[in-house]
Amino acid sequence: MNKKTILVVDDSKVSRMLIKCIINDVEPNWIIVESANGDEALKVTESLEIDLMILDYNMPGIDGLTLAKELKERFPDSSISLLTANIQSATENKARDLGVDFVKKPITEEKIKGILARVK
Amino acid sequence: MSIYLNPLQEDFLTELMNIAMGLAASAMSEMINDEVSLSVPKVSFVSRQEVITQFFSQVDGDLAGVSQKVSGALAGELLLLFPSNKSLAVVELMMQDTVSLEGMAGLEQEALCEIGNILLNAVISSLADNINESFVSSLPVYICGSSSHVIPNNGLTNESVLLLQVDFSFSKKSVSGYVVILLNVDSVDVLLAKMDARLASLG
């Protein structure tokens, strides 16, 4: 199976740990790049090719959808999932309008597997 | 300033809170893989000082949890609170299947913040959606201490707020906690206007 590179952006270190644990169990050879906020994510991905992005919405600095918009331009063929606790319809609608997959927290193995399946 | 909730408005608000807590309980249940029991929501219009005296008359000792501010049509503070001697048990319960306890060392407060983020956003999202409004939430903040410390008064102990409170418990580990929502007066006006319009449409 092809090795993929996944970007995980969430200001919660615990959330990033949970997501990484699940991804490593399911796809131990895939590469995970993590960032705690949008600005850091934009910087760290400057010289990388990203296949899949898992982004939180409420973060310090730019929010997850603003980040998604910028990353979409940089990686137009990549899949983006917004994994968020902010599950109001307004947020979901904005995500759908942007063509971003919308996944509600809490983080579960089933939900992460569903996200990973988008690039398998 | 005081706002009077008529019985129908109080009933409607209680039901909105029921639905909202249902979503939060569903998320909690998913995290701990256990049933979550909920109390009937309490709805009252009180001063910030009365929040402490009314709420904490039932609670012994210090509390630990998460505070989150919201702004927009629904503005105020959201709190998820546990007895402080139970908060670590809550984190262990919610993370045990995925992350080892060693991996969690030093991250208990952050884990509680994320738990609070999920649950409180579930509640306020439901309330907002049910009245066709949106909100902006701040990042969650860990809080711990006595009642007067964890219940924000912003220096305005006589300011009136709408208090929405639900008690919940998990059967595993005998943990119980509280969700407390304090909405400011402007938000109450928005809420009542939307509820009245909805009630009027029902005939």
Please give the angle made by the CA atoms of B179, B183 and B185, to the nearest 5 degrees. Answer: 160
Q: How far is A91 from chain B (nearest CA, A)?
A: 9
Q: Do A87 and B124 touch (CB under 8 A)?
A: no
Q: pLDDT (tens digit, 9 = 90+) per residue, A81-110? A: 999 989 988 899 999 999 999 999 888 899
Residue B177: count of CB within 10 angstroms of its CB: 23
**How many residues make up chain B in this entry?**
203
Q: pLDDT (tens digit, 9 = 90+) per residue, B175-187? A: 888 899 999 888 8
Residue B82 CA neighbour count, 13 Å, CB half: 22
Q: Do B128 and A90 touch (CB under 8 A)?
A: yes
Q: How far is A38 from chain B (nearest CA, A)?
A: 15
ipTM over 0.85: no
Q: How far is B78 from chain A (nearest CA, A)?
A: 14
| Segment among A3-17, B49-63, B70-84 with least mean pLDDT | B49-63
Cα dihedral angle (B159, B124, B127, B154), rounded to 10 degrees?
10
- At B96, the pLDDT band (50, 70, 90 cuts) reads low
Q: Do A105 and B118 touch (CB under 8 A)?
A: yes
Chain A, 26 to 85: residues with Cβ < 8 Å from chain B are 58-60, 85
B177 beta partners: B168
- Closest Cβ opposite residue B110 in set A14, A22, A104: A14
Q: Do A106 and B104 touch (CB under 8 A)?
A: no
Percent of chain B at pLDDT exceeding 90: 22
User: Pairing state of beta strands A31-35 and A5-9?
Assistant: parallel
Query: Residues of B near A (CB-CB distance < 8 A)?
Result: 23, 27, 30-31, 95, 98-99, 103-104, 107, 110-111, 113-114, 117-118, 121-122, 124-125, 128-129, 134-135, 137, 139
